[in-house]
Structure 1
Amino acid sequence: MINKDRILSLFFDLVKIDSPSLKEKEVAVYLRKIMEERGYEVREDNAGKASGGNTGNLIVRIPATGGGEPIAFSAHMDCVQPCLGVEPVLDGDVVRSAGNTVLGGDDKAGIAMAIEALNHLEDESIPHPEIYFVFSICEESGMHGAKNLNTDLLPAKDIVILDSSGEVGTLVVAAPAKAGIKMIFTGRSAHAGIAPEEGISAIQIAAEAVAGMTLLRIDAETTANLGHIDGGTVTNIVAESATLTAEARSLDDGKLQAQLEHMEACCAAAVDKVGGDYKFEYEISYPALHVADDSTILKRVELACEKINVTPRRVPTGGGSDANILYGKGFNALTLGIGMSKVHTTDEFITIDSLTGCAELVAEIMKS
């Protein structure tokens, strides 16, 4: 059986350690100590140096005690702000923060589940194949840990990511690609009271472009959003420049490209109408994830669900995670719902049943 008191104690210890993105070192030190005291090999890669953080990803190798293909489990060490000085509170069967911070179940619940699942196998002397834990950095600030992961330290090709909302048995089989967009509009400055006709307002160009854009929910697979606008100086000068930042996401690469082309065409049309110039720049932040119906890791997880009388439920998601990056690197990646709720808010919580139930599922997946 999963030890409820043990997983709660571990989870409380983890969430009390401050770990905003790029400052996960104290959590890494804590986890390294736990793993090395049990005799496991712990390696740290250079993802921290590559992304400007104070620690890299931790990769833990647990030797096989039985047959089967190697398997990896991943959870990230960082949390979104406000995450300093977390005070976890046990309210009946629910764990929440005291209210001034996030709880940090995203994703320290995933870390606790992986470790408790391994504890259970060891308690019961249950054989398992070679297992790897990946405790990653900077997931919340752009998946920089996964992007800079030293894959030479991770020979397992099947990887389960413990980092999604949804009850036990939720399997994320599709997640969108995301493009970060920057639109720079250039006009011509002039005195707004004396010679406004000599100017071209960059803000007006931007407004014209936005007015033509189809945004927010595009279709069932595609979204687009404007995040920030900056431009101009004072009211008596026609604005010479304006910048818009935005994003677009889609489960379909073709639809994502079509949305990007549409948004740029709106910029070009605005310049044709108002004058001035524009630059439209974008970068694909991460690729779309699609888990095939015949995926070995999907079959393995669904079989594990059945063995513990949990009904597996395949779902898509609108957000990206380390899974997108790992999938793009060639891993057979599958994300599990771990029961965390209202993440990224000070109302975040997780139930004890989710902690223990997901740990039980992870333990079943680990078995030979």
Structure 2
Amino acid sequence: MIRKDRVVSTFLEYVQIDSPTQAEATFAAVMTKELEALGFQVFIDDAGEALGSKTGNIIAKLKGSHITQPILFGCHLDTASPGIGIKPTIVDDIIYSDQTTVLGADNKAGIAALIEALQVIKEHNLPHGPIEVVLSIFHEGGQKGAKHLNYELLDSKIAYVLDGGGDPGRIVTSGHAKYQMQLYISHMNELCAPSLKTLRQITSKVVDAMHKDKNYATSTASVAVICGASDKHVIQVESASLSAESALEAICKIRSSFEDVASGYSATVTSKLSEVHQTFSVSRHDPMVKCLFSACSSLGLEAYTAQSIDGSDANHYHSNGIKAVNLGIGERKPHTLHEHLHIKDLVNASRLILALVDEHVKTPMVDL
């Protein structure tokens, strides 16, 4: 029932609508009209005001034809940079950009696949339970839209995020916690800021020590010097782990290392710590994962679970009491000029969404 020509056309249309982070309003207006045409009641929350975006998160609700537990499908509206003026092209059933921008399959492939499935449900009057859709803003750069989402507007307790790499059938059931810290280094004499060369020397020594320290085995970390005005250089540190405690311990240890090394340069360290997202985990034996395996089996797709170090809106759904997994939709090499999307993956992602809706009609509410 999924129409290959239509879902491809929809995707090509979407990626040519510019929607960089904090400028998602034009695309949000398009999606609002499309969801309303499909019978959804659409709300825009106030997240944009807090985040400096020109629109808020889209929250859409469709009443069910059957009494089942409501399910949520989540995507994000913004694309990575460079993402203005995307010119898609198709070569051998693979969609590319012209390699001057990203393609925007992250995350417009998920949105196109979802809209196609919803259109089929309406056209064929297929049975379905209550469906909620969230299209978040300001995803790139820390999933801030999902973090500021008005969760009081949602009824769903389970969510399928359509924002994963890999083939349809890949199910991310666990994700890392992530912390970010900005370090500001100054000389004992506050009137004299350390040079960029000094900051790099300090950073190099800390990174060398990290490579030799086996205590970082359960975490990943990155350190970068961000160049600003002469007195505004910042060292940004990130740490991630499946254990929130390990991630926090790692980033605090890195701060201590900077303090120790900086003291040898007569410099002091101040810092600002923030949580990017919390960890999440869903059992392979959880009913919603079993539902996914069943849906994949009905389509001849290989289902398998995975974990991800990268954050997604699923992390924030979990933090707010909504059990979520992130599904592979065919995104390949996202955030690069070589990003591309196999048409078969786009079609299969849409087929999987349709099959999931059907599985939930057949699955009693008490099982989820």
Kindly tell me: are residues 270 and 242 of structure 1, through their superposed partners in 2, closer, same or farther at Cα, counting changes over 3 Å? farther
Kindly tell me: are residues 241 and 95 of structure 1, through their superposed partners in 2, closer, same or farther at Cα, counting changes over 3 Å? closer
Identity, % of aligned positions: 31
- Aligned equivalent of 1:3: 3
Q: Which amino acid aligns with 1:296?
A: P
In structure 1, distance between residues paired with 2:10 and 2:119: 12
Q: Structure 1 residue 366 and structure 2 residue 366: aligned?
A: no
Q: Using the TM superposition, give the Cα deviation of residue 211 of structure 1 relative to its aligned residue in structure 2, in angstroms.
A: 4.2
Q: Using the TM superposition, give the Cα deviation of residue 64 of structure 1 relative to its aligned residue in structure 2, in angstroms.
A: 0.4
Gaps of at least 5 residues in structure 1 are: 193-200, 234-239
Q: Are the aligned partners of 1:218 and 1:224 in contact in 2 as well (CA < 8 Å)?
A: no
Q: Using the TM superposition, give the Cα deviation of residue 203 of structure 1 relative to its aligned residue in structure 2, in angstroms.
A: 6.5
Matches for 1:184-203 after TM superposition, within 5 Å:
184-188=184-188
Kindly tell me: are residues 268 and 38 of structure 1, through their superposed partners in 2, closer, same or farther at Cα, counting changes over 3 Å? closer
Kindly tell me: are residues 216 and 97 of structure 1, through their superposed partners in 2, closer, same or farther at Cα, counting changes over 3 Å? farther
TM-score (norm 2): 0.89
Q: Using the TM superposition, give the Cα deviation of residue 267 of structure 1 relative to its aligned residue in structure 2, in angstroms.
A: 2.4
Kindly tell me: are residues 312 and 216 of structure 1, through their superposed partners in 2, closer, same or farther at Cα, counting changes over 3 Å? farther
Where 1:227 maps in the other structure, the secondary structure is strand
Q: Are the aligned partners of 2:110 and 2:163 in contact in 1 as well (CA < 8 Å)?
A: yes
- Which segment drifts farther, 221-230 or 96-105? 221-230
In structure 2, distance between residues paired with 1:13 and 1:138: 21
Greater C-alpha Rg: 1
- Aligned equivalent of 2:223: 226
Gaps of at least 5 residues in structure 2 are: 193-197, 362-368
TM-score (norm 1): 0.89
Deviations, residues 28-51 of structure 1 (Å, cap 9, x unaligned): 111111122233211111111111
CA RMSD in angstroms, aligned pairs only: 2.6
Q: Which amino acid aligns with 1:153?
A: L
- Aligned equivalent of 1:142: 142
- Aligned equivalent of 1:111: 111
Q: Using the TM superposition, give the Cα deviation of residue 88 of structure 1 relative to its aligned residue in structure 2, in angstroms.
A: 1.3
Where 1:81 maps in the other structure, the secondary structure is coil
In structure 1, distance between residues paired with 2:352 and 2:51: 33
In structure 1, distance between residues paired with 2:223 and 2:96: 32
- Which segment drifts farther, 301-310 or 71-80? 301-310
Q: Structure 1 residue 172 and structure 2 residue 163: aligned?
A: no
In structure 2, distance between residues paired with 1:189 and 1:205: 18
Q: Are the aligned partners of 1:178 and 1:248 in contact in 2 as well (CA < 8 Å)?
A: yes
Q: Using the TM superposition, give the Cα deviation of residue 274 of structure 1 relative to its aligned residue in structure 2, in angstroms.
A: 4.3
Q: Using the TM superposition, give the Cα deviation of residue 229 of structure 1 relative to its aligned residue in structure 2, in angstroms.
A: 4.4
Q: Are the aligned partners of 2:117 and 2:354 in contact in 1 as well (CA < 8 Å)?
A: yes
In structure 2, distance between residues paired with 1:319 and 1:108: 18
Q: Using the TM superposition, give the Cα deviation of residue 89 of structure 1 relative to its aligned residue in structure 2, in angstroms.
A: 0.9
- Aligned equivalent of 1:197: none
Q: Are the aligned partners of 1:166 and 1:337 in contact in 2 as well (CA < 8 Å)?
A: yes
Q: Are the aligned partners of 1:73 and 1:161 in contact in 2 as well (CA < 8 Å)?
A: yes
In structure 1, distance between residues paired with 2:212 and 2:20: 31
Deviations, residues 187-245 of structure 1 (Å, cap 9, x unaligned): 2469x9xxxxxxxx776655554443348997664211112244895xxxxxx886311
Deviations, residues 234-258 of structure 1 (Å, cap 9, x unaligned): xxxxxx8863112111111232123
Matches for 1:1-368 after TM superposition, within 5 Å:
1-188=1-188, 208-214=205-211, 221-230=218-227, 243-367=234-358, 368=361
Deviations, residues 137-161 of structure 1 (Å, cap 9, x unaligned): 1111221210111112211111100
In structure 1, distance between residues paired with 2:49 and 2:14: 23
Q: Using the TM superposition, give the Cα deviation of residue 350 of structure 1 relative to its aligned residue in structure 2, in angstroms.
A: 0.5
Q: Are the aligned partners of 1:182 and 1:244 in contact in 2 as well (CA < 8 Å)?
A: yes
Kindly tell me: are residues 87 and 33 of structure 1, through their superposed partners in 2, closer, same or farther at Cα, counting changes over 3 Å? same
